[in-house]
Amino acid sequence: MAETDMPSAPRRTAHERQAEVEALFTSIGDGAISTDEFGRITRVNPAAQGILGYSEDELVGTWFPKKIIAVSADDVPTNLIDRPITKAFLTGRPIAEKMFYRRQDGQEIPVSINVSPILLNGKPLGAIEVFRDISLEQEVDRMKSEFISLASHQLRTPLSAIKTYTHMLTDGYMGDLNEAQNKSLSTIVGATNRMNELISTLLNITRIESGTIAISPKLVKLNELVEELMPELELMATAKSIDLKLQLRGKGSTAIKTDALIVKEIVTNLVSNAIKYTPDNGQVTITIRPHRNEVQVEVTDSGWGIPKFSQDQVFSKFFRAQNIVKRETTGTGLGLYLVKGLLDTLDGKIWFHSEEGAGTNFFFTLPRTLPNKKSSSRKKAKA
Ligand code: ADP
């Protein structure tokens, strides 16, 4: 219908407009709660009552953060200062987060929250929070992870048979091989190794995403742990005539309480990337620096670098930079996503500097000790 054909809207009274706002609020499919400028609940729609198990009378007039209890993935009640509604009030901006709400019957449900301050001439009048029960999404996520985990485990069995028999062939148990046969076998060995790595990457990612990664902290010396990896890393470096160095800088012990296997996975990933993305005859250096409360590891290479415009995507799932895709076809874009996830689990940090054509420096730090709550597997983390 053309705009000119539209019947002009009848003028509404203030009372009618008020009723319309009420009806709008009530019919929002997600939970919606509004508060005054002090955080006292002024309105609750039926969806919010359904999700939280409270009636409107039980909620209206109460102080939002006290009545509606939010907890973290570890069942710890969220501090007032960390509640999205507080952040929205303090910053004057909309805040989106995922957390758990405790229903009236004590059950905890995962919710996705969007809260916006209501401002009039820049002054806060209150806030409106819209939230959604994401139990079903998390369940689908869990099933997806379980499927990948199951499929990866099942793939391992035939793969280990392939590995055993190719090793028997290369070791000459089935007679001498000619040059062409040897060359084909080494291609098979390389491909099976890559498939093995891919499977363990997928398994680790599903463990991180489902919050079921188990951490076994032990006291380890980081420089000794990296030294143990050197023979395998040197093998990769030598194949490209890359000069690989390990150095310890600064004073103090490199001892930390952490999960040694996870740290090995992190270092192997960063160093193999450095080797892979550096042209032949280049240089890769691993530097370990002990600090007071943490130990830092730096992996520097003289390689192709990461273009500036893609640097903010480096830790995203499946990301591979344009300059690399042209040169190196093998790769999944999962390595750094996994490394970041593993470091988060160990309370570590990661960052990098890179210049295209000059090289890349990746840094990560690990704390001297892990908080106790991290020493076992956790329930589904924030999605
Ligand atoms: P993959 O190596 O399988 O592609 P990663 O997640 O390990 O996946 O790395 C993602 C992308 O980040 C790589 O494809 C590459 O573009 C870039 N990258 C990572 N490490 C380096 C490095 N040391 N030098 C240059 N580019 C790198």
Chain centroid offset of residue 202 CA: 13
Task: Kindly give the number of the ligand 1 atom that is closest to the alpha carbon of 338.
Answer: 6
CB of 338 sitting under 6 A from ligand 1:
no
SS3 51: helix
CB of 266 sitting under 6 A from ligand 1:
no
List the chain pLDDT tens, one digit each, 383 residues. Answer: 555 567 776 777 888 888 888 888 888 889 999 999 999 999 999 999 999 999 999 999 999 999 999 998 778 899 999 899 999 988 888 999 999 999 999 999 999 999 999 988 878 889 999 999 999 988 888 888 788 888 888 888 899 899 999 999 999 999 999 999 999 998 998 889 888 888 888 888 888 887 778 888 999 999 999 999 999 899 999 999 999 999 999 989 999 999 999 999 999 999 999 999 999 999 999 999 999 999 999 999 999 999 999 999 999 988 999 998 888 777 889 999 999 999 999 999 999 999 999 999 999 999 998 766 554 444 443 33
Query: pLDDT of 280-331, one tens digit each?
Result: 999 999 999 999 999 999 999 999 999 999 999 999 988 999 998 888 777 8
Are 189 and 166 spatial neighbours (Cβ–Cβ below 8 Å)?
Answer: yes
The rounded Å distance from CA 64 to ligand 1 centre is 45
For residue 124, give the H/E element and its range.
Answer: strand 123-133
Whole-number Å distance between alpha carbons of 364 and 266: 9
CB of 332 sitting under 6 A from ligand 1:
yes
* Sole residue written with tokens 């002054």: 123
Domains of the chain by start residue, with CATH: 10-133 (3.30.450.20), 137-210 (1.10.287), 218-367 (3.30.565.10)
Give every strand in the sheet of 349-355, ordered side by side. Answer: 243-248, 283-290, 294-301, 359-367, 349-355
Query: pLDDT of 117-159, one tens digit each?
Result: 998 887 888 999 999 999 998 888 888 878 888 888 888 889 9
Whole-number Å distance between alpha carbons of 296 and 298: 7
Are 32 and 111 spatial neighbours (Cβ–Cβ below 8 Å)?
Answer: no
Whole-number Å distance between alpha carbons of 338 and 327: 23
The rounded Å distance from CA 221 to ligand 1 centre is 27
Whole-number Å distance between alpha carbons of 197 and 316: 19
Burial group, residue 31, by CB count within 10 angstroms (0-12, 13-18, 19+): buried
pTM above 0.75, yes or no: no
- Model pLDDT, residue 140: 86
Please report the sign of the dihedral spanned by the C-alpha atoms of residue 299, residue 305, residue 311, residue 316: negative
Task: Output the CA–CA distances (angstroms, integers) from residue 155 to 148, 202, 335, in the order listed.
Answer: 10, 12, 20
CB of 116 sitting under 6 A from ligand 1:
no
CB of 282 sitting under 6 A from ligand 1:
no
Cα separation of the two ends of the chain? 44
Closest-CA residue, ligand 1 atom 19, reads 273
SS3 350: strand
Task: Kindly give the number of the ligand 1 atom that is closest to the alpha carbon of 332.
Answer: 3
